Amino acid sequence: MSTTPAASSRPPMLATAEALGRLLDAARQVDGRERVGTLDALNRVLAADVNSPLDVPPMHTSSMDGYAVRAADLAGASEGAPVALPVSQRIPAGHAAGPLAAGTAARIFTGATVPPGADTVVMQEMAHATDDGRVAFAQTPAASEWITRQGADIRRDSVILPAGTRLTPQALGLAASVGCADLDVVRRVRVAIFFTGDELRMPGEPLEPGAIYNSNRFTLRSLLAKLGCEVTDLGIVPDRLDATRETLRRAATDHDLILTCGGVSVGEEDHVKPAVEAEGRISMWQIAMKPGKPLAFGAVRRGDEGSEAFFIGLPGNPVSSFCTFLLFVRPFLLRLAGVTNVTPRVHSMRADFSQKKGDRRNEFLRARVNESGGLDLFGNQSSAVLTSTVWGDGLIDNPPNHAISAGEIVRFIPFSELI
């Protein structure tokens, strides 16, 4: 006689939005910060606002190669009556500029300081250098042409990067543009990960009958690395309750999150859920999504400390673990790291396919953008077909019980927003 609980005794599956809300409500930024060099801060999260100590640019600069002049000195200039001015100085970028004498022009280059007294720049294509060291202008320029004003990009003392910003390459460039050699960042989130399944083998090992290679280990560790986590890989744990409990206790000691893959369903060989319940608590289990229903969230006690390490158990099927990581683990980890905005941008795009029957759960369909700007659907949406995640460009977020008609506008989340 089966010892599996009857379906009627299980709590109802949570909607994806409610499940994500519960995870994010539970997440708190980890304690601890560190000072790192700006060159080494990619993907780290700011622990404090970055204020600019200066204007950017710090002086008026030329946005063209040309001549800095006083507009009044060229009043009345025309094709028939050009005005010629002597060139009084030459100003390359990075060199000081002296005051511009009235009735003269300064040869100036892109990025160079506009000399005091000049109020406009004439691009070199609109001027003609003469043999006697003068330059002729055939039209009167407007004031302030081709001048980038001091502070046009950044004003001194303004917040250029708020705390909670995840540092992209362009954000690092912005910090460097105001002279920040070092940045205060949140310490890395510490994640322990392990995998359950007596059938799992590592690439390079022989495959006995019934064995499979552990693709999830490679996918999930890479995703954690992309998020900048400090990862402890505890490897493959035998399908035994005692082994699972011992690994959970060990993982809880020094980590913010314990992430597992496999063993969170209700089969007789699924030991992760009962192990977590014995060592801590499960506060959420089973999401109304496809793929990825058996996702568990809770915490594991840290010995006698009275504190806990968060726990998330992912399903074992490779597409299920991939999708649930992107949609649930990623935002949870970002929130632990102090990121304020963890919501991926969703695009409205045209479905160039039909799906006659919807599922009772929220589906996340692997799809690819075609040459006409619509979406094609991968032919096999099984949670075991990892090929779909490489072929696809992202996920269609399809509501429960919704059939998709060709030409319909659907919600599409590109992998570039999630990875």
CATH number of 357's domain: 2.40.340.10
Enclosing domain of residue 286: 7-32+188-336
pTM over 0.85: yes
Q: Are residues 41 and 86 in the same domain?
A: no
Q: Are residues 302 and 199 in the same domain?
A: yes
Q: Are residues 137 and 263 in the same domain?
A: no
CATH of the domain at 231: 3.40.980.10
Q: Are residues 197 and 289 in the same domain?
A: yes
* CA atoms of 222 and 227, how far apart (whole Å): 9
Strand 127-129: give its sheet, edge to edge.
120-123, 66-69, 105-108, 83-91, 134-137, 127-129
Which DSSP category does 343 fall into?
Answer: P
In a domain, 271, yes or no: yes
Q: Are residues 11 and 131 in the same domain?
A: no
Which DSSP category does 409 fall into?
Answer: E
Domain boundary among 312, 336, 360: 336
pLDDT of residue 197: 87
Phi-psi region of 312 (alpha: psi -120 to 50; beta: other; left: phi over 0): beta
CATH of the domain at 76: 2.170.190.11
Q: Are residues 92 and 204 in the same domain?
A: no
Q: Are residues 376 and 388 in the same domain?
A: yes
In a domain, 88, yes or no: yes
Q: Are residues 179 and 284 in the same domain?
A: no
Which residues on adjacent β-strands are paired with residue 87?
A: 105
Which residues are CB-contacts of 149 (< 8 A; sequence separation ≥ 6)? 60
What's the number of domains the chain is made of? 4
For residue 408, CA distances in Å to 24, 294, 351, 354 come to 32, 30, 6, 9
Q: Which two tokens stand for residue 129?
A: 């250098």
- Alpha-carbon 80 to chain mean position: 58
Q: Which two tokens stand for residue 327?
A: 């949609």
Q: Are residues 20 and 165 in the same domain?
A: no
In a domain, 1, yes or no: no
* CA atoms of 120 and 117, how far apart (whole Å): 10
Which residues on adjacent β-strands are paired with residue 196?
A: 237
In a domain, 156, yes or no: no
pLDDT along the chain (419 residues), means of 10: 44 91 96 97 97 96 98 94 96 96 97 98 95 93 95 97 97 97 98 94 94 96 96 94 95 96 68 93 92 94 88 95 98 97 97 94 98 98 97 98 98 97
In a domain, 233, yes or no: yes
Q: Are residues 363 and 262 in the same domain?
A: no
Q: Are residues 174 and 227 in the same domain?
A: no
* CA atoms of 176 and 39, how far apart (whole Å): 9
Q: How many CA atoms lie within 13 A of 239 on its CB side?
A: 13
In a domain, 154, yes or no: no
Q: Convert 255-299 into a string of H (helix), E (strand) and C (coil).
A: CCEEEEECCCCCCCCCCHHHHHHHHEEEEEECECEECCCCCEEEE
Q: Are residues 104 and 220 in the same domain?
A: no
Which residues on adjacent β-strands are paired with residue 86?
A: 134
Domain boundary among 336, 370, 400: 336
In a domain, 341, yes or no: no
In a domain, 2, yes or no: no
Whether the CB-CB separation of 293 and 12 falls below 8 Å is answered with: no
